[in-house]
Structure 1
Amino acid sequence: MVIHLAGSEKVFDIPENGNYIATFPESGSYSQLFNIRYIPAHKFKIMSYGMCLEYDLKCDCVMRKECSNKNLQYYEVEPTEIFGFELPDKFKGRPIIYYSSLSYLKSS
């Protein structure tokens, strides 16, 4: 899936060999693709290259780290409706999550 930054043309990206999440215009590269895994109790883990995205309190950012049972690796996804949004043909069938630092994707 691709994680779009709400209100922006940018998406989450993990630069090559990096662990910090950055935002760049969508390029379709593998560094911009993430997997989501449902965990009971309505929580999700977001993964990239076999590692989990974890909210880091020290830097107030999201980083890629070894998967563990830390609460900061579990996310809740709040559904939102986007009116008047037409998905371009090249993205038909691709799951997209919109991320907002306000509330749409939040760490538990």
Structure 2
Amino acid sequence: MDLKLVLDGDITIISLSGRIEIEKAQSFKKACLTAFADKKVVFCMKNLNFVGSSGIQSFFGLLNEMNETKQLNVKIAGLNPDFQRLFAFSQCLALEVHESIEGALQSF
């Protein structure tokens, strides 16, 4: 998975591309908490490839956990239709999903 960071005021936009490697989930979480603790973050997933339902569900769970415990203030943008269906069945109640980055930015 590749990351591209852009700052928009006090909000960090993290654009994800490639495939999520579930084996690296904990190191991803640690890196996020180190770099973005207590910050506003939008994860843009429009260029993320399908990784299988267990991989994306685990990733959603990780983002939800960080958001729910107030470690990060997370929003998600740009889910493709496959990810939208999987998100609808997830238990990630603390996460907000927006169609666009602009919508996510305005929601803070």
Q: TM exceeds 0.5?
A: no
**Which is strand-richer, 1 or 2?**
1
User: Which has more radius of gyration?
Assistant: 1
Could you state the TM-score of these two structures normalised by the residue count of structure 2? 0.29
